[in-house]
Amino acid sequence: MDKIGQLNRRTVLKTALAASVAQVASPFVIRARAADAIRIGMVDPLTGVYAAVAQNEVIGAKFAVEQINAKGGVMGRPLELLVEDSANDVGTGVQKTRKLIERDNVQFIIGDVNSGVAQAMAQVTNEKKVLHVVSGGHTDGITGKDCKWNVYRVCNTTRAEANSVSELLFKNYGKKWHFITPDYAFGHTLQQAAAANLQKLGGTITGNELAPLGTADFSAYLIKARAANPDVLLVLPQGSDMVNCLKQIAQFGIDKQIHVAGLQQELESLEAMPPEARVGVWMFEWYWKQPNTPGLDQFVAEIRKRSGGKVPTARTWFGYTSVWTYALAANHEKSLDGVKLAKALGNFELPPEVKLQPNKVYYREGDHQLMTTAFVGKALQKAAGDPEDLFQVDSMVAGDQVNPPVSETGCTLQWPA
């Protein structure tokens, strides 16, 4: 080999040596820190299609850690948050969760935005007996037929989302519905829940277009939907898919002929749309503007300082609440034991400074689902005052009213002996 080749080999050797020294050295650092701080881990898709919402969850979680530590930490010890990127991939999410538990000795796990990743992570945390709060994965199974004693969830089930909007749409806009549904677990359960509600109310479905995840062009589905002549067109894809779909609906002028609506909507998506695409009736899981909610203004102001002036979204609140859940339970129980904390969270009610919304907000004992307020309203084409005020909340429905009873969720919790 020439000279360059030799140099390369040396560089490789040096790097390998440095890496092995780092491997040996790092455990000392971990031990020294572990003596005082309590480590908690967060796994979220910081890269990939859900990066925007995941990053907001992290901002909320970091702020909660800051607040908790300023108030004396957990049992007098500070919290230390370790954040890992699941890259929106099940294998990576599982691997990062294992790493956090086995190598970094975290006491508590938060994540993931992606339902599939969250479910796989729950297998790991269950096996390791570590308390786990699912911050942002909505598929029903997590607090339904796949529920686990150590897993709680902050965000809503797809059933609850469908229940919060269905009746309103039926009464105000008509009984013939057409769906555009993302073709994966989340979309299927969401569509089935809405379809079941529609059937109960006595309406009809004119069609259900299954669009693959990552569809950029929805024109073919929209041509079919308009030809079916429904009263309401329900747009169920999320993230950039929803942005694309609503943009095309606006360009084609379909919103002027058919009522456009959906179930779940997020501020991150509305902000990515041009004004003409912000149409329809939706449900928000949390909103930053509410009348007379104690502590809300301060929360919004503090988050703005940490996110370059952006307001908190539902995702920010999910991350924030997930961390506070752990701190509240551990301080209440004076223990870090996973089983003890999981037991304590059953029917645990969030205090006003954490819940930041009206109605009673509590973790249901039977399925470990957080009962939160559904914010039902309309997307605004023209921002109301603040440029980020893009949603008009018409009603705030208590979680108990939109969630099915525990007996219907299919959840049976198996506690360790």
Partner 1 sequence: MLQLLLFNVTNGVIIGAFYVLMALGLSLILNLSNVINFAHGGFLVVGGYIAYTITPYVGFWGALLIAPPLTAVIGLVVERILIRPLYGRDPLYSLLLTFGLAFILEDGTRFIWGAQGKPVSVPPLLSQPLSYDFFFITGYRLFMVVMVIVAVGVLFALLRYSRLGIRIRAGTLDLETVSALGVNVRTLRSLNFAAGIFLAGLSGVLAAGQLGLEPTMGAGLLMPSFIAIIVGGVGSLTGTLLGGLLIGVASGVTAVFLPAASEAIMYVLMAVVLLVRPRGLLGEEGMMT
Positions in the binding site for partner 1 (CB under 8 A):
47-49, 51-52, 54-55, 183, 209-212, 214-217, 219-224, 226-227, 240, 243-244, 247, 251-254, 268-269, 271-277
- What does the longest C-alpha to C-alpha distance in the chain come to? 80
Helix axes 296-306, 51-70, angle to 10 degrees: 110
Query: How many beta carbons lie within 10 A of that of residue 359, not counting itself?
Result: 16
Tokens representing residue 177 in the block: 């519905």
Pick the closer one to partner 1 by CB: 199 or 251. Answer: 251
Pick the closer one to partner 1 by CB: 161 or 209. Answer: 209
Pick the closer one to partner 1 by CB: 66 or 271. Answer: 271
Q: How far is the CB of 240 from partner 1 (least distance, A)?
A: 5
DSSP H/E element including 396: strand 391-397
Residue pair 240/272 in contact by the 8 Å Cβ criterion:
yes
Pick the closer one to partner 1 by CB: 268 or 367. Answer: 268
Q: How far is the CB of 108 from partner 1 (least distance, A)?
A: 25
Residue pair 105/29 in contact by the 8 Å Cβ criterion:
no
Query: How many beta carbons lie within 10 A of that of residue 289, not counting itself?
Result: 18
Q: How far is the CB of 224 from partner 1 (least distance, A)?
A: 7
Tokens representing residue 300 in the block: 């919004």
Q: How far is the CB of 66 from partner 1 (least distance, A)?
A: 22
Q: How far is the CB of 189 from partner 1 (least distance, A)?
A: 16
Pick the closer one to partner 1 by CB: 67 or 215. Answer: 215
Q: How far is the CB of 72 from partner 1 (least distance, A)?
A: 34
Q: How far is the CB of 68 from partner 1 (least distance, A)?
A: 26
CA 192 centroid distance within chain: 20
* Beta-carbon-side half-sphere exposure of residue 395 (alpha carbons within 13 Å): 11
Q: Which ranges constitute the DSSP H helices of 214-351?
A: 219-228, 239-252, 267-271, 296-306, 314-333, 338-345
Query: How many beta carbons lie within 10 A of that of residue 94, not counting itself?
Result: 17
Give the residue carrying structure tokens 């709060």: 133
Pick the closer one to partner 1 by CB: 96 or 153. Answer: 96
Pick the closer one to partner 1 by CB: 231 or 276. Answer: 276
Q: How far is the CB of 215 from partner 1 (least distance, A)?
A: 7
Pick the closer one to partner 1 by CB: 54 or 151. Answer: 54
Pick the closer one to partner 1 by CB: 5 or 291. Answer: 5
Query: How many beta carbons lie within 10 A of that of residue 249, not counting itself?
Result: 25
User: What is the DSSP track for 173-239?
Assistant: H-SEEEEEEESSHHHHHHHHHHHHHHHHHT-EEEEEEEE-TT----HHHHHHHHHH--SEEEE---H
Q: How far is the CB of 113 from partner 1 (least distance, A)?
A: 12
Tokens representing residue 193 in the block: 């829940």
- Residue 65 to residue 269: CA distance in whole angstroms: 27
Pick the closer one to partner 1 by CB: 267 or 370. Answer: 267
Give the residue carrying structure tokens 């105000």: 172
Residue pair 321/338 in contact by the 8 Å Cβ criterion:
no
Pairing type for strands 370-371 and 362-363 reads antiparallel
Q: How far is the CB of 61 from partner 1 (least distance, A)?
A: 16
